[in-house]
Chains A and B, each alone.
Chain A
Amino acid sequence: MADKNTFSRKDFLKITAAAGAALAVSNLPKPVLAAPVKTKPKHRYAMVIDLARCIGCEACTVSCKVEHNVPVASPKEIANRIQWTEVYFKEKGKYPDVKIDLNPRPCMHCENPPCVPVCPVKATYNDKDRGLVLQHHESCKGYGYCIAACPYGARYFNWSEPDYGGRLREQALNPDPHPQVKKRHKGIVEKCTFCVERLDRLEARAEKEGRPISDKELHLVCACVNTCMGRARHFGDLNDPDSTVSKLARSARAFRMQEELGTEPKVIYLRETANKA
């Protein structure tokens, strides 16, 4: 192993190979495509959200909630409502030059997640092979450091026992026994999982059949992607340079939220085209 003060031929080749790979798949060495050099994940699952297509209908918010048995807040507890993917609304401007910024925000599944190192009981972890940040719900003690650490507001606390609006509704919850779908309980944290339970099944099926997962199949994984009225959302693997997410990540409109914090988020936004008269 080379001493950090010397620069061996091996190191040089490693770096140029990485840079070469990055250049090979992009016009410019955009950070979003180059994985942080230390990690070499098998997959880098990511989401692209086209803000020009998002109309702020919040179908994504509801679809995700139903799919994952996310509890519903009573009118008194609206401030604590849990929305794994939440649309941020912000009105800007002065009459009549008004704009409402719409920002659908799932978990960013950061490659450098600030929420992981702060958990005292390691309930939240980085599934590096796939680029997913997940929870062991049974380990979570509800300390909430992860909520504080996340700069995106992607994490939510169960302030009360999950309410679904009555027994009639409760007996029709998603019966999927997957740990990320099973009912949670008061006192623990939950957040978007990039529909990992659906991804797990897709991978298992592909493995069994001895074939890779296609970009098209990946597109069907996330509930929020499936339901979107504007068709604004895309899901796929950044390790595949031909995937939809890779192609869109190379767009001149691509940006990520709060990149300066170094979290390496994997939700890539496409800004609205500046088309105001």
Chain B
Amino acid sequence: MKKLTRKEFLTLAGVTAGAASGVLKLASKAQAAVKENELQQVKSETIFSTCQMCGGQSGIMCRVVDGKLVKIDPNPYNPNNFSNISTDFFANVEKEGTCICPKGNAGIATLYDKDRLQKPLRRTNPKKGRGVDPGWKEISWKEAYAEIVKRLKALRDNGEAHKLLSFSEDSSFMDLQDDFYKLYGTPNFYFHSNLCDVSRKASFKMVIGHDRPLIGAVYTKYILFFGWNPLSATKWSHLPRIITRGIENGAKMVVVDPYFSYTANKAQEWIPIRPGTDGAMALAMAHVIIKNGLQDKVFIEEWTVGFDKFAEYVMDKSPAWAEEITSVPAETIERIAIEFATTKPQVVDVWSGPGHHSNGVQGGRAIALLAALVGGYDRHGTLIIPDKKGGKHIDVTPDDAAKASLKNERFDGKSSYPFAHSSGVYTEVFTRLAEGKGPYKPKIAMVIFQNPMMAVSGTKTVEKGFQNLEFVVVNDIFLSETALMADIVIPGTTYLERYDISSHWVTWPVVALRQPVVKPLFGQPTEYEFITEIARRLGLKEGDGKDIFWTGRMSGKRAEDKTKWYEEYISKELKEGAPKMTLEEMKKLPGAVWVDKKGTRYEKYKSELPAEKVADAIIEGDKIFSKKSDGTKDKLIGIMKGKKAVQGFSTPSGKVEFYNADFAKKKDAWGKPVDPLPVYEPRDWQPDASYPLYLINWKEASHTHTRTQNNSYLMELKPDNPLMVNVDTAKKLGIGKGDSVWVESIHGKVMAKVKLTEGIHPEVVGLQHGFGHWALGSRAKGSGFSDSILRPTRSEPLSGQAMNKQCCVKVYKA
């Protein structure tokens, strides 16, 4: 044994004195050096980016070795992975660390999926349809571009630019696509939101003028969710922490849902409910709250309009009335209403479960008004209206040809939906295409990072829609069900191979960079490079001749290299936007994420307008309007509260609206006037003797819609989607565990395997959405089942929300 020198002894003594903190073993320096060598970690590069396994954009920290991605870890600097409230983030992130969901971890398998498309393909069989062999022929990029550009040029030269339809996902390279379609001259730039949550957007927009308030869960004392499953259908990876922490800090959580979701599993109470009836329960709760005088009278008096009319409307909406509709016991409704109103602060929310029915918008509005009743907006521990800022999209001006064709009506009939979202109405597009209806006949579709053949209900209609187009281009990483309907298929990139600006859905401004972690694996262009190349070949320019697809936005010089050109494009957006820095500067930030030091702000409706703004405004009554350049009235920017000019809410009245008479002037897509009040109407498809069961679907942590069923890790977690059936219901139907059954609606039938559970309403059966692929890849094909054919291709009439959960079926042994 080597004799210790005095120095070594003292070092050890010092260490030993700190024995309480865990001392390491005695070892000579020589031993330490040998061990270090043996365990030499392979040198790796760390690249920060954002995930896109779902639309949540969680921050990721990627470990790259020799140009290969070997591990995805949480980005320790990104609030999106930790908390949506700034004080919570700044105080706790360092000691607790951030997270990443199972899909985020599994991203490596999607990047390196052996079934990924590598080369452009052209269809040789003109016949298109499910089960039809397209007769794919690999073609060169040269040929692919030539064909696509030829078609698009001919359409545009013929004054028919508006007959180009585009479908894309809403969190990727949106601004560039927006520029492209605008300068090309088509108003038909659609994205997926109307398959998702536009009904919630409409509900909240009607009430508070903002379409996406966020739950301040970590500091709340009561959480009431209608049909939301944030602990499984997670999207924002901070949600599980803020919700479980809220509960840990004493909050009671109540989940109203036909299915015992993993969120219901963490709640103190699960309240099973009939699908599409949540609005009735909310109105009955409002009835109880008002009857007992438990509403926030001060908030209602100062910051809302229309309360009296609302109170009158709910006067006969008793818990007994609601019990009949919802199957929730009247005493439960009464008790929850009182608990909710008297436990402060409280937060209530609704998402896409109740939203995907014909009464989803008014139902969600009734729920949004519960928050209004208790003053639950923009206050600590309630629904917070986010300060969301991102990159600045620099406007482009189309040339005369494009201006002319942009004047054409949108093909998706969006104007018929009074509370529609800019993403459009997918169901209308496909219905019109299939039936040959609409203001004109579209000819070409560009589908980038979308799979409508799987994602839109009523597959036959979608199929017919694609069949009725002359030319379809699909850009995807897999040969998806929609790619099978294409004339040309273009291999795309995963989020790990490209850039984006991710503006986060937390309550204060946070912007993160998505940057390439590896080069595109097959030398393929990223989607924005693909679009830019087409734009260049088409010679698309702004109205004043500016060659924006060639000129670098920062340098003002011609940028041949499309990657460099796009880097300048986003650098400009970052510089002009909230971060106020270039792309290179963004890359150097910790975690490549810009976090505004000025954190979450509360009660923004009370904040005073700057004096200059008021001086330059038009004031009518208590309303403050900004001026247009010609001096006429523009937008409502605030309201007068006594002598103070304050921000208020972004509604027509500047206040939270229980009632809006002007709604009655609008007609919904089915020709009915919109009710000024959140009236309850049963959804327009009810169970009957022939089809007695409600069929619903939902998402779980294991998969993202129809996107991830080829991912090896995720398919190992969840290889299929059984039909969940209540134990008693199954008994009555003579169905046992693992039985194959037919699930049949008036539109068709599919086969499914049964799983029994006590955790679902006895009148309801349901499944995880996304399975039932007949393409996509070797792992996805044939796994589980899809219920898409059991529903028509149809939207909720106010918002255009695809009604993905409205279905009635019968179930019987196969």
A171 within 8 A of B: yes
> Of B310-318, B499-507, B712-720, which binds chain A?
B712-720
CB of B738 to closest CB in A, whole Å: 14
A81 within 8 A of B: yes
B772 within 8 A of A: no
Name the CB-closest residue of A to B43: A175
Contact A94 B758 (CB under 8 A): yes
Chain A contacts for B592, CB-based, 8 A = none
A96 within 8 A of B: yes
Q: How many residues of B contact A (CB 8 A)?
A: 85
B113 within 8 A of A: yes
CB of A54 to closest CB in B, whole Å: 8
Contact A100 B268 (CB under 8 A): no
B757 within 8 A of A: yes
Chain B contacts for A65, CB-based, 8 A = 713
A31 within 8 A of B: no
A176 to B65, CA, bound (A): 10
CB of A50 to closest CB in B, whole Å: 9
Interface of chain B, main secondary structure: mixed
> Of B183-191, B229-237, B386-394, B406-414, which binds chain A?
B229-237
A177 to B42, CA, bound (A): 8
Interface string of A243-275 (1 = CB under 8 A from B): 100000000000000000000000000000001
> Of A105-113, A154-162, A184-192, A227-235, which binds chain B?
A227-235
**A95 partner, pick from B268, B271, B712, B759, beta carbons under 8 A:** B759
Contact A55 B719 (CB under 8 A): no
Contact B101 A52 (CB under 8 A): no
A193 to B384, CA, bound (A): 43
A141 within 8 A of B: no
**A55 partner, pick from B73, B248, B266, beta carbons under 8 A:** B266
A261 to B184, CA, bound (A): 73
Name the CB-closest residue of A to B253: A275
Name the CB-closest residue of B to A244: B95
A59 to B53, CA, bound (A): 13
Chain B contacts for A93, CB-based, 8 A = 758
Q: A73-B716, A227-B99 are in contact. Are A55 and B240 (CB under 8 A)?
A: yes
A175 to B241, CA, bound (A): 32
Q: A200-B35, A204-B39, A213-B24 are in contact. Are A55 and B232 (CB under 8 A)?
A: yes
Q: A53-B244, A57-B701, A91-B758 are in contact. Are A226 and B106 (CB under 8 A)?
A: no
Name the CB-closest residue of A to B33: A208
Interface string of B709-737 (1 = CB under 8 A from A): 00011111101000000111000000000
**A169 partner, pick from B36, B100, B108, beta carbons under 8 A:** B108
Contact B244 A230 (CB under 8 A): yes
Contact A212 B18 (CB under 8 A): yes
**A47-71 CB contacts (< 8 Å) to partner B:** 52-53, 55-59, 61-63, 65-67
Contact B728 A95 (CB under 8 A): yes
Q: How many residues of A contact B (CB 8 A)?
A: 79
> Of A3-11, A132-140, A214-222, which binds chain B?
A214-222
Contact B244 A201 (CB under 8 A): no
Contact A207 B701 (CB under 8 A): no
Chain B contacts for A201, CB-based, 8 A = 39, 41
**A143-202 CB contacts (< 8 Å) to partner B:** 164-169, 171-178, 197, 200-201
B71 within 8 A of A: yes
B32 within 8 A of A: yes
B213 within 8 A of A: no
Interface string of A91-131 (1 = CB under 8 A from B): 10111101110100000000000000000000000000100
Contact B113 A165 (CB under 8 A): yes
Listed by A's residue number, 17 A-B pairs whose Cβ atoms lie within 8 Å are A57-B240, A58-B702, A67-B71, A95-B760, A100-B265, A168-B112, A173-B70, A204-B32, A212-B21, A227-B100, A240-B20, A243-B22, A275-B247, A275-B252, A275-B268, A277-B252, A277-B268
Query: Which A residues are closer than 8 A to B by beta carbons?
Result: 42-43, 52-53, 55-59, 61-63, 65-67, 72-73, 75, 78, 81, 91, 93-96, 98-100, 102, 129, 164-169, 171-178, 197, 200-201, 203-208, 210-216, 218-220, 226-232, 237, 239-243, 275-277
Extra pairs beyond A42-B23, A172-B111, A227-B73 (19, CB < 8 Å): A55-B231, A57-B240, A58-B717, A72-B713, A72-B716, A75-B779, A75-B783, A96-B260, A102-B265, A177-B40, A177-B42, A204-B32, A215-B22, A227-B100, A229-B234, A230-B241, A242-B20, A276-B269, A277-B268
